[in-house]
Structures are given as structure tokens and as C-alpha cells.
Structure 1
Amino acid sequence: MEQVAMRIRICLVVPCFAALTAGAEPLYTLTILPEWLQASAINNAGQMTGVMPVPGGSHAFFFTNGDVRDLGALGGARSFGYGLSDNGMVTGDVAPANRPGHAFLYAGGTMSDLGTLPGGSSSIGLGVNDTGQITGSATTAADRTHAMLAGYGGMRDLGTLGGDFSYGIGINDAGHVVGASTFGGDASRYHAFFYRDGVMTDLGDFGGVGSFAQGINDRDQVIGAVVDTAQVARSFLYTDGTVTMLGDFGGRYTGTWDINNLGQVVGYSTFNDDINSRHGFLYTDGKLLDLNGLIDPALGWTVATALGINDAQQILGYACRTSDVCRPVRLDPITPPAVPEPGALAMLLAGVIICVGANTAKKKQDRKR
């Protein structure tokens, strides 16, 4: 197995601004990450993965506590990190020896090639949970792409909803998988699916012409998007059979990228038909919030998309100063100051009134003397 090739120490600068007041929306500081990191996922420890340039190619990386670790490429020139578990395992794809890419698992300092389905030539890992189970897709002997579930016991074909193609994207710690699958002869029509205990369930089109699922949390809440006849995409949150449309900023395109165990969702939405008009959003407590309204505008950065959110409510995204100056960023929530309970506040005010009253009475007695 290839050893870790490089470690780089990065100092992060975190600009700060005024803290929250009671009843205000959440506010965030903004950390600008190195421009040569293309980050794709963040976990509950604030660690990240993605891809970084190296001489002659690009390699998956693992970012933790300011260190960037090159995960290598098993002797090849290319690897990419897509999924990251809370205990620091990474999955993605790697292409050693100039052959088609294979899904990999990086754990305990070692990258392992997960191979592909019997007779297939390629695979890719997109999500990984804390037990080392991986979902993504792989080619079959018939040269079809199917959703797969892989781990230390090999790779399993999850099948389809009746069509030729499927792919898994999100997986939770129970091993439940979500993604999308064709369901008939039309290879362009997909439905979101939920896979559990060997059964792939069609989640339907939610009133559109197609749908796909993008992520799942440990509460089995599912996020994704619905596409209508005008090819307008709308984001949804699926909870216990109930579908909630998340809304948008008025434009044609919207997409969800991640959901945490608090049920908070991040993604992007446009303001018009131009994809470049997109802003990153946070969906929380039934409200769709523009992330650019939650950071200090004096910083001069516009958050264009949000790719990940963890249970500490840290958000991974991309922000731009101009159209050609864009960087990966991390948004860290500002902890609001403690607010006394109503009863304690009333007692405090009563105490002040009593003290003032007592001092006033004492002064009156002194004047009489």
C-alpha cells in the first residue's frame, strides 16, 4: 500500500465580528481555506476531504487540525476524496496504472482499492459511514452502472428500480442508502430511492417528472431535488413519508448537498435563470436562509454554494470575491451570549428595585435626622 506522501501545515485566519443577540438568526465567522484545495465533505470533527494538485496529477487529501495529508493514488496519478465519516475514513475513486477508476477506502493510514462488481471495470465511492460501509456506483458485466454497497466483506450490487442505471450517494450509520435510479425504458428519467435491509424503495417523483436523493442523516431524513417539465429543479426534505419543499431564492436552479442530524440542510439556489447567480443556503427551523445574510458583509466574500454541514453546525462551502477569485471556505457558528431565564431575570430586576427602594428610604431617614 502507498504510504502518506506529504503533510502540509496551514495556518487559518478566522475574522470575527459581533456576537448574536437574543432572537437573531445564527451568525457565522468565515475561514478562507487555501485555493489549491477542492473540498467536498466535512465531518463532525471539522475534518475535510477532497482533491489537491500534485506534480503530474491530483490526489485525495485529508484535512485535520490545519494539516493537509496527501492520501496518494496507489501508484497512479489521480485520486479524489468524496465521502468522509465522522471517525475519519475517506472514500472516493483512484486510478492507479492508468486504468479506469476504482472506489477506495482510506482508513488507519492506508488506502485500499475496493475493486468493482464481478465482470465490471470501474467503480466510485461517494459516501462512507462510521462502520466503513461505502456507497456509490460500479459497472456490471453488462456494462451497466448500478448503485453499490461495499465494505470489508466485498461489494454488493443494489440493483435498480427497474431500469438499467442507478447510483448511491448518501449512507447513514445504519447502512441505509439513498440515491437515484432509472425505472423504465427511458434512461433519462430517474427517481429517488431509499435502500434498507436488501430492499430498494422508490420514493417517487414528488409531483415532477423525476427526482434524485442526495443525502441522508441518522434519523433517516432524506434530501434531494425534484425536476419538473421545464427542467426547473426544486429541493426537498423527506421525513417519515412527509415531503417538505425547501423553497428557493426565485431562480430556476436549486440543489441540496448535505443534511446533519439536527435536520439542517445546506445547498444553493439561484435568483434568476443564470446559474452564476446562485447563493449558498441554510435550511433550518422551516426557513431558507441566504448564508450571505449570516456573515459580515465587510469581509467582501459571497458564499456561492454550501457543500456540507456537521452536527456542530460548521458549514463547508465556496465563496467568491469576484468571478475569478473563488476559494473553499468554512463557516463557524458564533455562540450566542447566555440569556437569563425569564424567572431569573424577573428576580434580578426585583432585586435591583428592592435595593434602590432601600437606599432611597435610608437617604430619607438620614435627611430627617
Structure 2
Amino acid sequence: MSSRHRFFLLPFALLASVLQCAQAAPQYVVIPLGNESTTQLRPAAINNLGQVIGVMRHEQGEELFLSSGGALRSLGWMGTSIPIDINDAGTMLYGDKLHFADGTTRALPLAAWAINNLGHATGEVENRRPVGPVTYAAIYGGGDALTLTGLADRWNTGWAINDADVAVGAVHGWIVGEPAGSPSFRAARFEGGRTQLLESLGNGYGAAYDINNQGFAVGFTAGHAALWTPEGRLIDLGAMLEAQFGDAAALGSAAYGINNAGEVVGRYGHEGGFLYSDGVMYDLRSLIADPDNLFVDAEGYDMAGGYDINDQHQIITRGIYGWGGLLSLASPPAAQPVPEPASCSLFGAGLLAIGLLKRRRQSGRPTA
């Protein structure tokens, strides 16, 4: 192709790149969880049907709620200091019991933190023997199946579980074999009776909060939001937040939810929230069409942190005091592609190429 043809085609390529970059950021709208005029809601978990379980606060105190199809109902359980979760069958976990959609319940043989779509759970079991872990990380597989694992003389806890019965969480206490002064709280993975400490950053202090079906886990390490590969290698999301939003962005950041597409949500800085999607880091509040509709509470505090995300790209969000709601994509994902970071860099590269071509034409040098 001649240099003249190349020169005239480059602007069209640049225009395509600009259009692609302009469409990169998804847009979210606020979806009501129910009648929120007299209550403050703190959503905790969402399933792929858009059902949300959480805590609502009213004049009588605090109790658990279920939001489904825009209708909000109380679960009749007072108090908030308990783990709660919900799976795609609508089975809820709270009070160390499974609460099925038909109204029946099943007590669990562990202090449970999370359930998967098989109705299996993870959590911890106290060790009543004088040797071994102080608590075992436990995976309940239904019936009498209970898998226990953990490092000796440590507290071991599973905080999330995927549909392959792989759990992640934390190991508490000084770890045998680690240097003196090592952190006493480490992110860990529990699978098939084995315990794996996930790669850490800096002082290593951290925990894992969620895991998807591909085995990618999220949480934090040394004050940085973290993403771990199935092999346990660390991807430092905190460093990405720092590079994009400033030096203070990574401080106290954490990733709380990941879906099966690998999208991650969490918080950063004092009140900020983020969405990490296809290699691109977004400020969550900037993606919301009408953020003031949700993100300022009665005391005037901003709300933006992301705490869970489902496979329909819906996000539950909370702010500095925990009150928040549900975000849903304004358009189907196909209408809002998220390009690789290299796509947007084509614009700058194209401008450079045009400049070089123009300079060569003016100097009489060949460009073929």
C-alpha cells in the first residue's frame, strides 16, 4: 500500500479507536430494593437472579431482609453480626442454617459463612483436641460430608466457596516456617483437605473474600486490593488504583466480589468504589447515571463501595456507614464493550504515526 493511501486511511482507523474508547465505560442505573423511604438498607450478597439479602435498619432495630423483584420482605431475624449469603436457587444462609425457598430449614455442622449453588457451605469448626488447628476451615458437602483442613496451631476460616467446593478465607496467627514478625493474618485457599497460603504483598497481612468458578479469588494484602490467580499468584489491584486515582487510592483498598466473567468490585481510599473489568479500572461512582439518587445518606455521606457482583453484572454497593443499594447495567453488556487497554492507546499511536508520515513527506523521504 502506498504512503498516500496509508495517510488517508489512518484518520478512519483513529476515528474507530476513538469511538471504541468512548463506548468503553459501562453505565449503571439504580434499581430499588423495595420501599426504602423509611428504612436504611445494607445489602450483603446477590445471586444471579438479582435477589439480594442484607440488613435493614428501622426504628425497632436491625433485621435481615430479602429483596426479590423489587419487593422487600423481612426475614424475621434480628441482629446483624452474623454471616449471610444466598445462592441461585434462592437458598439463604444465616444463623448457621440453610433456609430454603419452600420455607424449610437445615442446621449446618459448622459456623458457616457462605454457600454455593450446590447448597454446600464453608466456614469453620472448633478443634476440641489439644493438637492441630485451633479452628479448622470447613467445607460442608451435604449430608454427612464435612472436609476439615488448616494449619496447625492457627485459626482457619473459609469465607467464600465456589461451585467446585474450593473455599478461600484466612489463616490467623503466626505461621510455622514464616520469619519472626510475619503477619498473623494471611489470605488462604482451602481445597480437598489442603491449605494454600496465597501470595502476599509487603507485610503480607490480608484475607480472601470471594472466589469464582474459575478459581480466581479476591481480597486484600498489605492494605492493597488483591486478585489471585487459581495458582495463588497475586495481581496487585491496589497498584492499579494508585496509578489511576493517585497515591492515596490503594491505602485501605480491598476487593470484595468477583463474578464468573472475572469482573471485580471493591472499595478504595476513604469512600471510593471500583469496578475492574477486562483489564480496565473504573471509579464506580463515575459509572452511575444518577449517583445522587442513591449515594448520599441521611447524614450526607457519600456511598460508592462495591461489595458483590453477579454474572448479570449487577452490583451491590455500600458506603462509609454501610447503607447502599443495587446497580444494574443501563444497557445489555454487548452494547457497551470493554476494550483491552491497548485499544485506547491506538489513538495516541495513530497521532504519532500521522506526524511521522507528514514529516517524511515534507522531507521527501520514502514511506513505503
Give the TM-score, by structure 2 length.
0.69
Residue 133 of structure 1, aligned match among 99, 120, 123 = 120
Q: Aligned Cα RMSD in Å? A: 3.1
Residue 104 of structure 2, aligned match among 77, 85, 110 = 110
Superposed counterparts of 1:2-17, under 5 Å: none
Superposed counterparts of 1:322-333, under 5 Å: 327-333=323-329
Matched residue, 2:343: none
Q: 2:263 and 2:139 mapped to 1: Cα distance?
A: 26
Q: How high is the sequence identity, in percent, across the aligned residues?
A: 29
Decide which moves more: 43-52 or 138-147: 138-147
Decide which moves more: 201-210 or 327-336: 201-210
- Residue 244 in structure 1 maps to residue 235 in structure 2: yes
**How far did residue 309 of structure 1 move?**
0.4
Matched residue, 1:87: 89
**How far did residue 65 of structure 1 move?**
1.1
SS in 1 for 2:313: coil
Over residues 165-208 of structure 1, what are the superposed CA-to-partner deviations in whole Å (9 max), with x where a residue is unaligned? 01111100111101111352789612222122221222242443
**How far did residue 52 of structure 1 move?**
3.4
Question: 2:263–2:275: 8 Å Cα contact kept in structure 1?
Answer: yes
Inter-CA distance 90–338: structure 2 relative to 1 (3 Å threshold): closer
Q: 1:169 and 1:267 mapped to 2: Cα distance?
A: 16
SS in 1 for 2:226: strand
SS in 2 for 1:293: helix
Give the TM-score, by structure 1 length.
0.68
Instruction: Tell me the amino acid that sits aligned with residue 134 of structure 1.
Output: A
Q: 2:160 and 2:205 mapped to 1: Cα distance?
A: 18
Residue 158 of structure 1, aligned match among 122, 141, 148 = 148
Inter-CA distance 48–221: structure 2 relative to 1 (3 Å threshold): same
**How far did residue 53 of structure 1 move?**
5.2
Inter-CA distance 152–24: structure 2 relative to 1 (3 Å threshold): closer
Matched residue, 1:195: 190
Matched residue, 2:285: 292
Matched residue, 2:175: 184
Larger radius of gyration: 1
Q: 1:206 and 1:69 mapped to 2: Cα distance?
A: 42
- Residue 253 in structure 1 maps to residue 240 in structure 2: no
Question: 1:163–1:187: 8 Å Cα contact kept in structure 2?
Answer: no
Q: 2:185 and 2:287 mapped to 1: Cα distance?
A: 35
Instruction: Tell me the amino acid that sits aligned with residue 112 of structure 1.
Output: R
Matched residue, 1:40: 44
Question: 1:49–1:62: 8 Å Cα contact kept in structure 2?
Answer: yes
Decide which moves more: 157-166 or 125-134: 157-166
Q: 1:260 and 1:167 mapped to 2: Cα distance?
A: 21
Instruction: Tell me the amino acid that sits aligned with residue 90 of structure 1.
Output: M
Over residues 131-187 of structure 1, what are the superposed CA-to-partner deviations in whole Å (9 max), with x where a residue is unaligned? 111112233326944322225324736332234201111100111101111352789
Over residues 216-237 of structure 1, what are the superposed CA-to-partner deviations in whole Å (9 max), with x where a residue is unaligned? 000111112111xxxxx00121
- Structure 1 or 2: more helix by fraction: 2
Q: 2:185 and 2:202 mapped to 1: Cα distance?
A: 13
Inter-CA distance 138–70: structure 2 relative to 1 (3 Å threshold): farther
Over residues 48-96 of structure 1, what are the superposed CA-to-partner deviations in whole Å (9 max), with x where a residue is unaligned? 11233589764433221123343345xx87784621112211113x2xx
Question: 2:161–2:211: 8 Å Cα contact kept in structure 1?
Answer: yes
Unaligned runs of 5+ residues in structure 1 are: 1-19, 95-102, 117-122, 228-232, 271-276, 340-369
Matched residue, 1:344: none
Question: 2:189–2:197: 8 Å Cα contact kept in structure 1?
Answer: yes
Matched residue, 2:6: none
Matched residue, 2:313: 313
- Structure 1 or 2: more strand by fraction: 1
Unaligned runs of 5+ residues in structure 2 are: 1-19, 296-301, 337-368
Inter-CA distance 110–78: structure 2 relative to 1 (3 Å threshold): farther
Instruction: Tell me the amino acid that sits aligned with residue 315 of structure 1.
Output: I
Inter-CA distance 145–60: structure 2 relative to 1 (3 Å threshold): farther
Over residues 24-50 of structure 1, what are the superposed CA-to-partner deviations in whole Å (9 max), with x where a residue is unaligned? 310111234423332100111100112
Question: 1:291–1:303: 8 Å Cα contact kept in structure 2?
Answer: no
Instruction: Tell me the amino acid that sits aligned with residue 330 of structure 1.
Output: L
Q: Comparing both chains, which one has the higher relative contact order based on Cα–Cα distances under 8 Å and sequence gaps of 6 or more?
A: 2
